[in-house]
Amino acid sequence: MAAIVIGTGLCGCSVGRNEGAFAKMESGDITGSITPLAPAAGPEPTEADLVFARTAASDVLTKGDKDSSQPWENPSTGARGSVTPLSNAYTEDGQTCRAFLASYVNGRSETWLQGAACKEGGRWDVRSLKPWRRS
């Protein structure tokens, strides 16, 4: 019995798994040390895509839920993503403002956008939305 228990423990790596739950390597993938990733250089969002992202940003900020995200999708281009508020509100030029991150997925490419919105008349107005740069 002890031999079975020890043998099973030692050969655990060779036991087949359901690969659907794990990432698969594609040909050309490189293994080795981990290096920081730069923002993906994919297609730039179209102005039409940004309209949907801005609307989602305004909606999620208006709801005011802590730790919430708002998905968005442009059915014309197939681009999609989500918007997530980053911080508590702050005051800028006498207005209440918030920062947010928005994902942008188009085909196989994904990138991130950073933005800021300020409250005007009960609605959040997106003031900036640009490619995210890690500081």
Structure tokens at 28: 């050309």
| Nearest by Cα to 73 from 85, 58, 83 | 83
Residue pair 86/66 in contact by the 8 Å Cβ criterion: no
Instruction: Tell me the pLDDT of the chain (135 aa) as tens digits.
Output: 444 434 444 444 444 444 443 344 344 444 444 444 444 456 788 999 999 999 999 999 998 777 899 999 999 999 999 999 988 889 999 999 999 999 999 999 999 999 999 998 888 999 999 888 766
Which amino acid, 105? V
Residue pair 68/85 in contact by the 8 Å Cβ criterion: yes
3-state helix, strand and coil shares in percent for the chain, rounded to the nearest 5: 25, 35, 40
